[in-house]
Amino acid sequence: MFCIQRRFAAIRSDGGCLAESSVRILVVDDFEPWRQQLCSILQIRPEFRVVAEVGDGLEAVQKARELKPDLILLDIGLPNLNGIGSREALPSRSRCQDCLFDLPQRDRDVARAALSAGAQGYVLKTDPARELLTAVQKVLGGEHFVSSGIQAGNSGETEEAQCSPDSK
C-alpha cells in the first residue's frame, strides 16, 4: 500500500546508516475486525509498525497528537467525528503527517473531499490485500495514491485528475 523516498533511518556521524527505523502508523476504523485485518496486512512489512488502533474520530485526533505517527490510515465514516473532520481537526503542525483514507465505496465526491482535507491518497475497502501496501508505499514516498477501483470517466481524464481536490 518499496522504496520509500523519505527514509526513516538513523545516520551515523560518518554518514553511514545505523539502522532503518520503523514507520509508525495509526489505524482508525470503527469496525474492530476491519482494523485487525488492516493491521495484519500492514505487519507483512517489517518496517511498518502500528502504534495504535482507535475506533472514533475524536480519539484519532487525540492519538495523532499524542503519538505523532508517520502515517494515519483513516476511515471516512467514524463516530463522534468523521475521518475528514478528524484530519481537519489536527493542528497545522501535526497535519504534515501523511494521511491515507480507506473508503467503503466508489464515490468521487468523497474522494475529492478526502484529498481536499489533506489526504495524500485513498484506497477502497473492497480489496485491501491488493492495494493497501502499495498505497502506503506511495504516500510515504511523497506521491498521491488513487485506488484503481475508482473508474475513470468517458472524458479520457485520468483517475487522479478526476479525483484531485482542484478538479470540478
**In a structure prediction context, what are the per-residue pLDDT tens digits for the chain, which is 168 residues long?**
222 333 343 323 343 333 457 899 999 999 999 999 999 999 999 999 999 999 999 999 999 999 999 999 988 889 999 888 888 887 654 444 577 777 676 777 877 887 787 778 888 888 778 889 999 999 888 898 888 876 443 233 434 434 444 443
Got the DSSP string for 68-117? --SEEEEESS-SSS-HHHHHHHS-TTTTTSEEEEEESS--HHHHHHHHHT
- Does the global pTM surpass 0.95? no
Ordered by start, the domain boundaries in the chain are 14-163
Model pLDDT, residue 91: 63
pLDDT value, residue 110: 79
Q: Which fold has domain 14-163?
A: Rossmann fold (3.40.50)
The reported pLDDT for the residue numbered 142 is 87
User: Residue 135 in contact with residue 159, Cβ under 8 Å?
Assistant: no
Cα distance between residue 117 and residue 87, in whole Å: 6
The predicted pLDDT at position 100 comes to 73
Q: Which of 53, 52, 46 is nearest to 22 (CA)?
A: 46
